[in-house]
Chain A
Amino acid sequence: MNITTPLTDDIIEQLHAGDGVTITGTIYVGRDAAHKRMIEALDKGEPLPFDPQGQIIYYMGPSPAKPGKPIGSAGPTTSYRMDPYAPRLMEVGLKGMIGKGNRSTPVREAMQKHKAVYFASTGGAAALIAKSIKEAEVIAYEDLGAEALLRLRVKDMPAIVVNDIYGGDAYEEGQKRYKKV
């Protein structure tokens, strides 16, 4: 299924754990340090550097772009480190997250409550994923280097739905199927 950002409830309701998708449109990029700053901004009552309504955030810190390229290698980072921050962002309208690895129970509950989805892209397939990124622009926190907040334009970026709004979890379901102990 090809999905286009921003995500609407109508799109989200169609997504189920284990579904393969391709994502097209604008997505935002932030990881550990950018999340810390976004939450500090919300705590102070300040606006975020982008309007999170219906948006997807990609947990990623790219390698530097070579001349003539929009971005360097650009695969996902491990998501659980953003767990302390994710529910707060869903409260203000975030609808999707892309990363890799398991999420905490509070994050999974927040996804069901706020109708948001967690996707995984293949960790370590960073050169391949970079091919689906057409434009990249730093929109805030430039001083953080590889951890700056970015806006990307992506075309057919491959991902798998890990957690849907129905409580499904592609890791749990997949692992149960092949477990032999």
Chain B
Amino acid sequence: MREIRCEEITETVARLCIEANYYLGDDVLKALRQARDAEVSPVGREVLDQILENADVAREEEMPLCQDTGLTVVFLEVGQDAHIVGGDLYEAIQEGVRRGYKEGYLRKSVVEKPFSARINTRDNTPAVVHIQIVPGDRLKIAVVPKGGGSENMSALAMLKPADGRQGVVDFVVETVKKAGANPCPPTIVGVGVGGTVEKTMWLAKHSLLREVGQPSPDPEVAELERDILEQVNKLGIGPQGLGGGTTSLAVHVETYPCHIASLPVAVNIQCHSARHKETVL
């Protein structure tokens, strides 16, 4: 059985936290450049230029793209034949976050006692960790630092099966419309359809791991993504909400079978600073 040491996991998580926050991915940069060229609003183009320039400054000066370096969401795919040794897997991840946020001069944005004292934990822990068991003996680690502004604009609906495809489209478009300028458009709209109440939101968040703009492998889902994106970009919200044709860079949809009585839909909005980095150990 292949062994993976906890210390290696900690070091990897720390590195991914820093890299995700300093270096905007090529997928996002490409989508932003395309949006810049297509944007009809002069103010919108100016905003997109600032966002692209910001990515250059962050990379050159090795500083966070956004001051909100997020609550750290970590997705793990643990191969069932891998053996984690030398400590506690969950704690190894938390230690990685602690180290990454300290060494990378990232902002500590987590409070405990959420409805009362709201005391900053001072090291950005605890991260939210999602673990899947998969075949093989590898460990895939994806780090998604998630900003509060876009997360706050997320929504969930338990639609009636009769609402169908149009119901899904309408709910997602309405959620983006209500969010307006708040989630830092141009956004990436993560959508989950199906499953149970928690599964559908997991799908919406998980869809944000995909390279920006890469369509779903399922043609029917890819068509839904295109339709929603087209409608969202007709809203006119535009970059930073100042008006324009680029409200969202992409719509990512993931689906799962659901109960005969249900049609759950979740929307998890991601700001243009779409930070996600992953590696396989």
CA distance A150 to B241 in the complex (A): 27
Chain B residue nearest in CB terms to A78: B149
Residues of A within 8 A of B40 (CB): 178
Give Cα A13–Cα B138 distance, bound, in whole angstroms: 63
Q: Are B184 and A175 in contact (CB under 8 A)?
A: no
In contact, A77 and B68 (Cβ under 8 angstroms): yes
Task: Knowing A78-B182, A122-B240, A171-B181 are in contact, say whether A61-B67 is a contact too (CB < 8 A).
Answer: yes
Number of chain A residues close to chain B: CB under 8 A: 46
Verify if A11 is at the interface (C-beta below 8 Å from B).
no
Question: Are B47 and A122 in contact, CB atoms less than 8 angstroms apart?
Answer: yes
Interfacial residues, chain B to chain A (CB-CB below 8 A)? 40-41, 43, 47, 50-51, 53-54, 57-58, 61, 63-69, 105-109, 118, 120, 122, 148-149, 152, 180-184, 231, 234-238, 240-245, 271-273
Q: Check A126 against B54 for contact (C-beta < 8 Å).
A: yes
Classify the secondary structure of B's interface with A: loop
- Let me know if A145 and B243 touch, CB within 8 A: no
- The residue in A102, A147, A177, A178 that gathers the most chain B C-beta atoms within 10 A of its C-beta is A178
Tell me, in angstroms, the Cα distance from A173 to B89 when the chains sit together: 51
Measuring CB to CB, which residues of chain A are less than 8 angstroms from any residue of chain B? Answer: 18, 33, 60-66, 72-75, 77-78, 80, 100-102, 120, 122-128, 130-131, 144-147, 158, 160, 170-171, 173-181
CB distance from A121 to the nearest CB of B (A): 9
Q: Which residues of A contact B53 (CB under 8 A)?
A: 125, 128
Q: Report B-chain residues with C-beta under 8 Å of the C-beta of A74.
A: 67
Q: Which residues of B contact A77 (CB under 8 A)?
A: 68, 148-149
A171-B242, A174-B238 known; A102-B105 Cβ under 8 A: no
Q: Choose among A122, A131, A146, A180 the residue with the greatest number of B CB atoms under 10 Å from its CB.
A: A122
**A100 CA / B241 CA spacing, docked (Å):** 9
Name the residue on A nearest B24 (C-beta).
Answer: A124
Q: Which residue of B lies closest to A101 (CB)?
A: B182
| A180, B235: Cα distance in complex, Å | 6
Q: Which residues of the other chain, A, contact B148 by a CB distance below 8 angstroms?
A: 77-78
Q: How far is the CA of A100 from the CA of B242 in the complex (A)?
A: 10
Tell whether, in the assembled complex, residue B272 and residue A127 are in contact, meaning their CB atoms are under 8 Å apart. Answer: no
Q: Is the CB of B240 within 8 A of A173?
A: no
Question: With A64-B107, A66-B63 known to touch, is A174 a contact of B241 (CB < 8 Å)?
Answer: yes
Alpha-carbon separation in the docked complex, A76 to B116 (Å): 25
User: Is there an interface contact between A145 and B108, defined as CB atoms closer than 8 Å?
Assistant: yes
Could you show 26 A-B contacts with beta carbons less than 8 Å apart? A18-B43, A33-B118, A72-B64, A72-B105, A73-B63, A73-B64, A100-B181, A100-B182, A100-B241, A120-B242, A122-B51, A123-B66, A124-B54, A126-B65, A126-B67, A127-B54, A127-B64, A128-B53, A145-B122, A146-B107, A174-B238, A175-B235, A175-B243, A176-B236, A179-B234, A181-B234
